[in-house]
Chain A
Amino acid sequence: KAGVTQTPRYLIKTRGQQVTLSCSPISGHRSVSWYQQTPGQGLQFLFEYFSETQRNKGNFPGRFSGRQFSNSRSEMNVSTLELGDSALYLCASSLSGTIYNEQFFGPGTRLTVL
């Protein structure tokens, strides 16, 4: 069974640009969550999608958005990039999205904003 895949693995952007990250969940998983990992803040929850609907959202500005497609693949978009957005962005998939179903993480996309 293929794991969670994230593309691209590495990305370099400049301030003010926008970026789109992609996540393909494990086959059959309907929930996708996104997290931001930085050295100072650790892992922080961004949002969670289930069956194309955003069910839960963390405390991030509106520049961070996402969506989920009918095949459960998800994209995350960050507009008007700031230096502080440099981070490892992780997505995780699970069968139904409740924490009682284990979340499986992808390897992450390393975003560097110059």
Chain B
Amino acid sequence: DQQVKQNSPSLSVQEGRISILNCDYTNSMFDYFLWYKKYPAEGPTFLISISSIKDKNEDGRFTVFLNKSAKHLSLHIVPSQPGDSAVYFCAATNQAGTALIFGKGTTLSVSS
């Protein structure tokens, strides 16, 4: 059973607009969440994270929002750029904090 779910396999956005990637989780014990970006033929790279004690974290064009009551988080990219086209993975820590539980990913395509 998927504990971290990314229900949209793909998302297409125009350059300059906002991209919103969504993620839901089922385990209320998760307390740290991360987003990774992956280009073809490369390993995932860390993008941004958020602790459960916060509801928002910003880093430049990237903002992650956490709604603990809904067990939902989202990644906002503003403005979107063609170089943002990649697969985005949402992840959460396991209780020991030594493993990442990933969603299946959302492929973002930003067109110019």
Which residues of A are at the interface with B, using a C-beta cutoff of 8 A? Answer: 4, 31, 33, 35, 41-45, 48, 50, 55-56, 58, 90, 92, 97-100, 102-108
Residue in B closest to A50 when the chains form the complex, CB atoms: B98
**Residues of chain B within 8 A of A43, CB atoms compared:** 44, 89, 91, 100, 102, 105
Q: Is the CB of A33 within 8 A of B42?
A: no
Using known A-B contacts A42-B105, A99-B34, determine if residue A55 contacts B98 with beta carbons closer than 8 Å: yes
Least Cβ distance of B109 to chain A in Å?
17
Counting CB contacts under 8 A, is B62 at the interface?
A: no
Can you report 20 residue pairs joining A to B where beta carbons are below 8 Å apart? Answer: A31-B98, A33-B98, A33-B100, A35-B100, A42-B104, A42-B105, A43-B91, A55-B98, A92-B43, A98-B97, A98-B98, A99-B98, A99-B99, A100-B32, A103-B100, A104-B43, A104-B46, A105-B43, A105-B45, A107-B42
Q: How far is the CA of A44 from the CA of B3 in the complex (A)?
A: 11
Which A residues are CB-close (under 8 A) to B99? 33, 45, 48, 56, 58, 99
